[in-house]
């Protein structure tokens, strides 16, 4: 069990320390003129009022007043690091994505690990899925894999995402967490229970980011140079080994060092202990995917590794800490729609919803020019006719025409570029086609529960029932039949726990 506080080495260089003796010259105002005093405001006489003409003071206060940007609506608390991805197995027959090409090819990456429900200052060890987002700065533009540390998700239609997330946040009346909300929702949306079991297993409290796997969760498409399509699930497997915290340790650390994961990642990289993950694909042909016993477009389901084994692709190594947290980690903007030729989204409707949602939230959180920010801009500067808007970086297209086609030059179209998922045959009735809940939805949670060794089954039951007991009895009763449907043993153990423990639910009821 790791110590609750990672020891802070007072000698260790932090990002705010400069090597001894190094100077950065004169202190200047935002507009670049020398600052005469950074200690004393300009006043009319010793005891007189402050002068409006003190630009340095006004600019400093006004800038400070605007230091906060909206935090991410989900995944607000996170830690990030730079590194590289190196191809170790040649899969170029499956995809024309250049960064997945020749063995030995290296691509710079930036990865961010996060919790989901908490605010920017919340505890890193909260029981929660973990975000696992990787930006690949490829020669064909940026490719983002915005995954989680779980191979499935709670809901399978993007219409349900805001509802689900509301249940993970604060009660609208009291502004504190209310277990009624999440259990009420899950009792009505039982396809969530696969992910709920993972959440309340020991994997719900990973011991930092270095000791967890990452998954695309969704199925993606790989497109070869010849236009052939394969379906793939991405698996980043930690080379540090899986390590989880017990519930008790996670809670204790939340109180003593809420930045446990952030510090663990930073310190490991500072001391040269670079974390790495091996990337594998599960690969299916279109025919295999169509014939599979589970819908590969349903993100509440896994594809069994017995049916489709893992194929090694490459290795991701994180070896450089950010120089500035805000500029690099906070302003990082990932999106499943940041893609490159050779990789395309599948028709998983959750993934399709995400293609819209991320750039939309980035325009709100960072502004219309979020892709100009250094952490988000591709290796080669984008060339197009987009202009202006808040916070333009660079030359804004200079004197080049801001329309196309034109007679004066400028960037030209590339007819051979392979569009996202283009050349996919699509036909069907435009309608709201529901995913019906069937017995199939309970197979995989059952298999998961029965795969756990006895001590982990015990932890799962105690973690889950220990939280469910905080909900109203009527909601507890609504959840139990679903747990029985997963596994009779699971249902009865949870029911027993609830019977033995009085309802210690929150004072406020919905
Ligand atoms: C972050 C929406 C499902 C992984 C976010 C953000 C939004 C969002 C709005 C905040 C982004 C920002 O401000 O930078 C949605 C919607 C979903 C969905 C609408 C479903 C329809 C998922 C799923 C996964 C996932 C299924 C994993 C497989 C992440 C990660 C982040 C994130 C890792 C944090 C990225 C970062 O580190 O900046 N999501 N999400 N999300 N989401 Fe989702």
Task: State pLDDT tens for residues 298-352.
Answer: 999 999 999 999 999 999 999 999 999 999 999 999 999 999 999 999 999 999 9
Query: What pLDDT does 301 receive?
Result: 98
Contacts of residue 413, Cβ cutoff 8 Å, sequence gap at least 6? none
* 68, 245, 462 from 332: Cα distances, Å: 15, 28, 37
Beta carbons within 10 angstroms of residue 480's beta carbon: 16
Can you tell me the mean pLDDT for 109-130?
Answer: 98
Q: Report the alpha-carbon distance of residue 257 to residue 259 in Å, rounded.
A: 5
Distance CA 446, CA 465 (A): 17
The percentage of residues in the chain with a pLDDT greater than 90, rounded to a whole number, is 88
Using the mean position of ligand 1's atoms as its centre, give its distance from the Cα of residue 476 in Å.
Answer: 29
Contact at 8 Å (CB) between 230 and 188? Answer: no
131: enclosing H helix or E strand: strand 130-138
Q: In terms of DSSP bridges, do strands 130-138 and 106-115 run parallel, antiparallel, or are they unpaired? A: antiparallel
Q: What's the rounded mean pLDDT across residues 137-162? A: 98
Report the range of poorest mean pLDDT among 24-28, 116-120, 309-313: 24-28
355 within 8 A of 378, measured Cβ to Cβ: no
Instruction: Select from 357, 364, 367, 373 the residue to mutate for testing ligand 1; criterion: most ligand atoms less than 8 Å from CB.
Output: 357
Ligand 1 cavity residues, CB under 6 Å: 72-75, 78, 112, 114, 131-133, 146-148, 153, 158, 161, 217, 299, 332-334, 350, 353-354, 357-358, 361-362, 365
In angstroms, what CA-CA distances link 325 with 65, 177, 297, 330, 455? 19, 28, 36, 6, 39
C-alpha 469 – ligand 1 centre gap (Å): 29
From the CB of residue 211, how many other CB atoms can be counted at a distance below 10 Å? 18
> Which among 69, 71, 72, 373 is the best mutation to test ligand 1's pocket, defined by most ligand atoms within 8 Å of the CB?
72
Please give the structure tokens belonging to residue 448: 């998961």
Q: Which pLDDT band holds residue 6 (cuts at 50, 70, 90)?
A: very low
Longest C-alpha distance within the chain, in Å? 84
pLDDT at 257 exceeding the cut of 60? yes
Residues 6+ apart with CB under 8 A from 301: 152, 194, 294, 295, 444
Pocket test for ligand 1, best of 70, 73, 75, 298 (most atoms within 8 A of CB): 75
Q: What's the confidence (pLDDT) of residue 416? A: 74
Question: Is the pLDDT at 7 greater than 50, yes or no?
Answer: no
Query: Residue 85 corresponds to which tokens in the numbers above?
Result: 């991805």
Residue 415 confidence (pLDDT) above 90: no
From residue 17, give the alpha-carbon distance in Å to each of 10, 14, 39, 124, 323.
Answer: 12, 6, 21, 25, 11
The one catalytic residue in 56, 75, 218, 235 is 75
For residue 414, the CA-to-ligand 1 centroid distance in Å is 31
Distances (CA, A) of 264 to 1, 2, 23: 14, 11, 30
Query: Exposed, middle or buried, 278 (CB in 10 Å: 0-12/13-18/19+)?
Result: middle
pLDDT band at 19 (very low <50, low <70, confident <90, very high): low
Q: Write the CB contacts of 330 (distance below 8 Å, at least 6 apart in sequence).
A: 69
The pLDDT score that the predictor gives to residue 421 is 62
Average pLDDT over residues 476-484: 98
Q: What is the pLDDT of residue 2?
A: 33
Q: What does R_g of the chain's alpha carbons equal in angstroms? A: 26
Residue 74 Cα, ligand 1 centroid: separation in angstroms? 7
Which is the catalytic residue, given 56, 82, 148, 482? Answer: 148
25 touches 273 (CB < 8 A): no
Taking residues 59-76, report their average pLDDT. 96
Residue 288 vs residues 35, 55, 305: alpha-carbon distances, Å: 68, 67, 14
User: CA geometry: angle at 322 spanning 276 and 129, to 5°?
Assistant: 55
Q: What number is the ipTM of this complex? A: 0.97
Structure tokens at 182: 């999440």
* Residues 381-405: b if buried by 16+ CB within 10 A, e if exposed: eeeeeeeeeeeeeeeebeebeeeee
CB 331 within 8 A of CB 302: no
Question: Residue 504 pLDDT > 60, yes or no?
Answer: no
Place of tokens 């110590």: 3
75 is catalytic: yes
484 is in an annotated binding site: no
Q: What is the pLDDT of residue 20?
A: 64
* Cα–Cα distance measured from residue 41 to residue 48, given in angstroms and rounded to the nearest whole number: 11
Please say if the pLDDT value at position 10 is more than 50.
Answer: no
Q: pTM for this structure? A: 0.94
Quick one: DSSP state of residue 230? E
Angle at the Cα of 317 from the Cα atoms of 313 and 323, rounded to 5 degrees: 145
What's the pLDDT band for 156 if we cut at 50, 70, 90? Answer: very high
Question: What's the rounded mean pLDDT across residues 356-380?
Answer: 97
Q: How far is the C-alpha of 223 from the C-alpha of 145, rounded, in Å?
A: 16
d(CA 234, CA 282): 7
Residue at token pair 């003190």? 54
Confidence bin at 422 (pLDDT 50/70/90): low
Q: What band does 16 get if pLDDT is binned at 50, 70 and 90?
A: low
pLDDT score of 503 more than 60: no
């Amino acid at each position: 069990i790791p110590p609750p506080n990672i020891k802070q080495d007072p000698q260790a260089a932090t990002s705010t320390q400069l090597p001894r003796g190094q100077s950065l010259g004169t202190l200047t105002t935002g507009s670049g003129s020398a600052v005469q005093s950074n200690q004393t405001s300009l006043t009319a006489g010793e005891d007189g009022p402050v002068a409006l003409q003190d630009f340095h003071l006004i600019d400093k206060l006004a800038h400070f007043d605007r230091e906060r940007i909206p935090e991410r609506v989900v995944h607000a608390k996170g830690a990030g690091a730079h590194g590289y991805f190196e191809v170790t197995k040649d899969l170029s027959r499956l995809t024309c994505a250049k960064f997945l090409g020749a063995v030995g090819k290296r691509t710079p990456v930036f990865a961010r690990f996060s919790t989901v429900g908490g605010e920017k200052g919340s505890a890193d060890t909260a029981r929660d899925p973990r975000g696992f987002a990787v930006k690949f700065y490829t020669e064909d533009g940026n490719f983002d894999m915005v995954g989680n540390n779980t191979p499935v998700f709670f809901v399978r239609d993007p219409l349900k995402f805001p509802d689900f997330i509301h249940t993970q946040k604060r009660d609208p009346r009291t502004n504190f967490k209310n277990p009624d909300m999440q259990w009420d929702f899950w009792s009505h949306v039982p396809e969530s229970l696969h992910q709920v079991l993972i959440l309340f297993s020991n994997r719900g409290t990973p011991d930092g980011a270095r000791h967890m796997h990452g998954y695309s969760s969704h199925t993606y498409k790989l497109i070869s140079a010849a236009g052939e399509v394969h379906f793939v699930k991405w698996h980043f497997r930690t080379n540090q080994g899986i390590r989880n915290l017990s519930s008790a340790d996670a809670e204790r650390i939340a109180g003593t060092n809420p930045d446990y994961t952030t510090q663990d990642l930073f310190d490991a990289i500072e001391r040269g202990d670079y974390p790495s993950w091996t990337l594998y694909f599960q690969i299916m042909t279109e025919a295999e995917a169509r014939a599979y016993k589970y819908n590969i477009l349903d993100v509440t389901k896994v594809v069994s590794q017995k049916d489709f084994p893992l194929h090694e692709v490459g290795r991701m190594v994180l070896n450089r800490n950010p120089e500035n947290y805000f500029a690099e980690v906070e302003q990082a903007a990932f999106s499943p729609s940041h893609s490159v030729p050779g990789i395309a989204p599948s028709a998983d409707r959750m993934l399709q919803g995400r293609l819209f949602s991320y750039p939309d939230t980035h325009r709100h959180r960072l502004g219309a020019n979020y892709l100009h920010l250094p952490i988000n801009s591709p290796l080669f500067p984008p060339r197009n006719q987009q202009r202006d808007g808040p916070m333009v970086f660079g030359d804004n297209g200079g004197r080049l025409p801001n329309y196309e086609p034109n007679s004066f030059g400028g960037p030209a179209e590339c007819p051979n570029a392979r569009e996202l998922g283009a050349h996919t045959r699509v036909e069907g009735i435009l309608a709201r086609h529901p995913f019906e809940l069937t017995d199939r939805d309970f197979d995989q949670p059952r298999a998961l529960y029965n795969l756990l060794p006895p001590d982990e089954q015990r932890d799962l039951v105690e973690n889950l029932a220990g939280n469910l007991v905080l909900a109203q009895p009527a909601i507890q009763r609504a959840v139990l039949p679903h747990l029985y449907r997963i596994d009779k043993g699971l249902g009865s153990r949870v029911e027993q726990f609830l019977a033995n423990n009085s309802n210690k639910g929150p004072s406020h009821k919905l």
